[in-house]
Amino acid sequence: MSLKTSIVSRLTESFLGEARLRKLRRKAELRRRKEGRPHLVEYFHQPHDPYSRLLAQTLPAFIQRYDVELRVWLVGPPPDWAAPERERLREWSRIDAALLAARARLDPDAEDPAVRELIAGARTGGDARREQLGHYLGATLYYEGEWYWGLDRLHYLESRLAELGARRAAAPAEPLFAPPAVPSSAAAPPASGQPPDIHWFLSFRSPYTYIAAERVRALADACSARLQLRYVLPMRMRGLPVPKMKSRYIVADVAREARRLGVAFGRIADPLGEPVERGYSLLPWAIAEGRGYEYCLAFMRGVWSRGIDAGGDRGLARIVTDAGLDWQGARRHLGSDDWRAVAEANREELLGLGLWGVPSFRVGDAAVWGQDRLWAAEDLLTGTTDGRSRNS
């Protein structure tokens, strides 16, 4: 590992760490009190966005539970760089939001007078305000330096407000929507038939893929499912843009998710480019050796939490050894291009499912996207729901 990689990875770990976050929050709260301001939460509502519709339904209950001032802004769709597959995004958002609504016991088509009143009082100019504060999506909440996207992240804001003493005395302690645990206590093998397959579409450069890795293995084990590794090139290496505003939000979001899940994260050695290609060149061999999952986990844990430079032999050798594999055996396969056709076939299948990002999960003909939807993958494995079929 180069000295530069070591220094940068340790600085990143400190930047994303809980200690710095707590310090920033204390400063923000002291400043708010000094200026005599209320707890101001800014909500950015995108009309016709299904995630905005879901989040908006919770806001009347949210302001009843917490002593906050809610400022609503109207925003348009995300810019092109944030939605490189806009038509696919629009279609998938509709399907995914319906899944989430069912889980959260919400009606995506409900017409609540309290919600209409909130949105009717929304301010214009939200796009400029959102950009000024550093985000690009609708269905987002901003409070004192931090962003919370959609129903899936509302619980973080609730927890923060509760710590500040802003939860009203009679309000329930449980969040409006708690992330489901995966695997759940109900996870079990199917009653009959062959063990199912769960296809895990992954990328070594996706931190969300990394923080899902141990849970997807545990889910497969709980359901006696065969875990199929479906690797694809990272979005940047497929020509899809990931600008700095987006990458900054992603790593901050992954950091808090990792803390919640107990996954080490933050000492990062970005594997973009050659490190990913070197890593993928060994993956078919690792799978043939019966250690494919262990190798994927070791690679992602190395680059996302240990600052290992996978672009050099020393770093990659450590990853291979951590996976329980032999480095001398691995070197004979290093630099092979055999993986490229497989990665492209996986990408084409992902697109055929209406998806383009990872981690995604397929069970039978149904697929879900995102580490936030592992509970939906569990539902597919256990037969709780039909999920989304290819023809839906």
Domain ranges of the chain: 38-163, 197-382
Strands annotated E in the chain:
40-45, 69-74, 140-143, 146-149, 197-202, 226-231, 360-363, 366-369
38-163 carries CATH number 3.40.30: yes
Q: What φ, ψ does residue 91 adopt, rounded to 5°?
A: -70, -45
Predicted confidence at residue 135, as pLDDT, reads 96
CA dihedral over 248, 254, 259, 262, signed as positive or negative: negative
Q: What's the topology of domain 197-382?
A: Glutaredoxin (3.40.30)
Joined tokens for residue 322:
């951590």
Task: Give the residue from 379, 351, 359, 385 showing the smallest Cα distance to 91.
Answer: 351
> pLDDT tens digits for 50-93?
999 999 999 999 999 999 999 999 999 999 888 888 999 999 99
Asked whether this chain's domains 38-163 and 197-382 adopt the same fold, the reply is yes
Predicted confidence at residue 1, as pLDDT, reads 61
Predicted confidence at residue 335, as pLDDT, reads 95
Q: Which segments of the chain have a pLDDT < 50?
A: 386-392
Predicted confidence at residue 385, as pLDDT, reads 64
Task: Determine if the pTM surpasses 0.75.
Answer: yes
> pLDDT tens digits for 140-158?
999 999 999 999 999 999 9
Joined tokens for residue 162:
């509760």
User: Could you tell me the CA-to-CA distances from 62 to 21, 70, 73, 111, 168 in Å, in that order?
Assistant: 24, 10, 17, 17, 10
- End-to-end Cα spacing for the chain: 48
Predicted confidence at residue 217, as pLDDT, reads 98
